[in-house]
Amino acid sequence: MNYKNEKQLLIFIRFALPILALLFTIAITTFLYIEKKTKFNKLTEEIQSTFIKNKKQTIKEQIDNLYYYIVSEQKDLQENLEKSLSYEVKQTHKIAKNIYYRYKHNHSKDEIKEMIKAAIREIRFNNDRAYFFIIDKEGKNQLHPIMPELEGKDVYNTRDSKGSYIVKEPLELLKKKDEIFYNWYWVKSQEDKKEYKKIGFIKNFHELNWVIGTGEYLEEFSKDTQEKILKQIEKLRYGKNSYFIVTNKDEKYISHVNKNLINKDVFKILEETNTTESIDTIKKILKTKEGFVTLDFFKPNSNVVSSKIIYLKNIPNWGWTISTGFYVDDASKAIEDEKKRIEKEYQENLKNLLFIFLISIIILVPLFFYISFIIEKKFKKYKDSIQEHIDENQKQYKLLAQKSKLTAMGEMLANIAHQWKQPLSLITTSTSSIKLNKELGIKDDEFLYKSIDNIQINANHLAETINDFMDFFRPDKNKNKFFMKDVIAKTLKLLSSQFQAKKIEIIQQIQDISIISYERELLQVLLNIISNSKDAILENSIENGLIFIEIYKNENNVIIEIKDNAKGINENIKERIFEPYFTTKNKAQGTGIGLYMSQEIITKHMNGTIEVDNIQYEYNKQIEKGAIFKITLPISN
């Protein structure tokens, strides 16, 4: 790293964090301020509509809750009446039983009957409307407190207006059950000839062969239930000036906080403070069964007329309308109070925000200065450590490169020694022949010149071999322009003796392509790959060894593909073959750095790529399998 850049980086590390902390704190504080200000403005704008909306929702929920309560009571009306009748009859049955068992040993049955009837005759319940009757199993009336003239008479075949046998049918049912509920229709009084539904409960009294029962008009019990509900509604409150109003089908108040309005005409009262249009709106909503309406009305315990928003809803079957509402001026006051509360809260939040900002600045800036100082020290230490590793790696890389070169040198020296055998033998033969002719005194100039030419040709061949060897190991690292055919020719020339001796065939398909790069380093890579293919062929005892070299152009790149027929690379180790010191050969044959250095040269020095895979292909009608190395290099590096 250059000194100027390093100094700038250290300055940046020293001041960046404190400045960022300051900017971040300012940004967050500004954002929170704007957010709270926006929220405050929005709240103050929306508070009125939101408040009215919430109040309307509240009164609707209150009316809905009351509605479900009333409808539930309506639904349970008959069930509650039946429970009441059952309880009263069973209590009376106990009274009769107590009298019977108390006096049965010292009084006659007739005397006991009279005592029981006397005890039961005056018992009433349900606001003194309901009474008890006694009928014997033969159908004779034994007790009827309201119509005593029926006592002792046969009522077995008595029918109601619907044609039901109201004595005969229950007696038949009581033969199978000990107690029953039974419904019939009967007049309420001599003046009212209309028959109303009556629900009864009847129970056997086996001791005297009687049945004891009672009945109640459903309508009368419904009125009791209505009265009970109205009393509860009068007590209900859910806020200031918040109460419930109930009107009946005759449009009269039957429940109101102002008792003076009870039984008064609703619309006559409303006409005093509202327009005809408002009255018509209320009537229209009553027809739709529920809804909101705005009207003017007196506030409780006051002569002040105020606008009121009301929600009303009809109750089925009873003809009731229930309603509640809120006065707008009460809502306005509440809205103003809410605005003041929100403004006060906003001011408090703003103070807290400024306080937090100052505290953050006081704490964070020194803290980040300290952190920056620590980071700067760590950075310097880390930089020194990296430099040490780089220096060490450079040493290791140079050692590996040197080792790779030495390995290649050893292989090439073996090749040179092999290549020199024949030329040296020919030179020795020629010189021996010349010497022999001289000793024998044979003068043959043609033989002499031919022998000298032969010596010169072989000596030149030896010189070329040495030149190729020295050229390969020349230390300069300059790029130059070279042809791919030439670099392949040099490679194969250095390895030719080994291929001839081992009968390995080289098949070339090379386009005439030139590139600008490091020729000697590419030569080292090609030597490594082709030598590995040769070793694999020999190791796997391939009878007819094949090595294919194909070079072609692809856009701005040159592609070098080298494949063999040595059965390929084991899939378990294929991914590791470019690792340093990884080898499948024994220590005497391989160091494990050839392919590693090849990858380093191709990728880092020549800006290319090198890949390996297994391949299956056909050659001379034979299926062959081996490894394929693919090198991609830029034409102009």
Tell me whether residue 398 is in a domain.
no
**Which of 493, 436, 439 has the alpha carbon at shortest distance from 468?**
493
Phi, psi of 117 (to 5 degrees): -60, -40
Residue 453 falls within a domain, yes or no? no
Q: Are residues 218 and 259 in the same domain?
A: no
Show which of 331, 352, 371 is a domain's final residue: 331
Residues 615 and 528 reside in one and the same domain: yes
- Residue 324, domain extent: 229-331
The phi-psi region of residue 426 (left if phi > 0; otherwise alpha if psi is between -120 and 50; otherwise beta) is alpha
Same domain, 189 and 292: no
Looking at 310, 331, 352, the residue that finishes a domain is: 331
Q: Are residues 196 and 245 in the same domain?
A: no
Cβ–Cβ under 8 Å, residues 240 and 301: no
**10-residue stretch averages of pLDDT, the chain, 637 residues long:** 58 64 68 66 66 86 92 91 95 96 93 95 92 95 93 93 91 95 84 85 96 93 91 85 88 90 90 86 84 85 82 91 85 67 72 73 70 70 71 61 56 54 60 72 71 66 56 62 89 74 86 89 86 88 91 93 92 84 61 76 90 93 93 86
**pLDDT on residue 200:** 95
Q: Closest Cα partner for 218 from 197, 235, 201? A: 197
141 within 8 A of 126, measured Cβ to Cβ: no
Domain-located, residue 395: no
CA angle 76, 82, 83 (to 5 degrees): 85
Do 626 and 481 reside in the same domain of the chain? Answer: yes
Supply 500's token pair.
């001839």
Query: Is there a single domain that holds both residue 596 and residue 576?
Result: yes
Is 532 within a domain? yes
pLDDT number for residue 560: 95
The answer to whether residue 530 sits within a structural domain is yes
CATH number at residue 325: 3.30.450.20
pLDDT at 142: 96
Least Cα distance to 142 among 153, 131, 156, 158 occurs for 153
Same-domain pairing of 176 and 248: no
Q: Are residues 237 and 217 in the same domain?
A: no
Which residues, listed in sequence order, are joined to residue 622 by a DSSP beta bridge?
619
Residue 336 resides in a domain: no
Task: Supply the CATH number for residue 577's domain.
Answer: 3.30.565.10
313 and 216 inside one domain: no
Query: In this structure, are 205 and 184 located in the same domain?
Result: yes
Dist CA 548 CA 566 (whole Å): 12
> What letter would DSSP give residue 299?
P
Give the residue from 296, 331, 366 where a domain finishes: 331
Helices 328-440 and 519-539 sit at what angle, rounded to 10 degrees?
Answer: 80
**Would you give the DSSP letter of residue 364?**
H
Rounded CA separation 13/15 (Å): 6
Same domain, 304 and 184: no
**What pLDDT sits at residue 173?**
95
What pLDDT, on the 0 to 100 scale, is given for residue 298? 81
What sign does the CA torsion over 399, 401, 402, 407 have? Answer: positive
Residue 342 placed within a domain: no
Cβ-count burial of 291 within 10 angstroms (0-12 exposed, 13-18 middle, 19+ buried)? middle
Examine residue 428 and state whether it is found in any structural domain, yes or no: no
Q: In what order do the strands lie in the sheet with 305-315?
A: 253-255, 245-247, 320-327, 305-315, 290-298
Q: Say how many C-beta atoms besides its own lie within 10 A of residue 187's C-beta.
A: 14
For residues 180 and 89, state if they share a domain: yes
Residue 605 backbone dihedrals phi, psi, to 5 degrees: -90, -40
Q: How many domains does the chain have?
A: 3
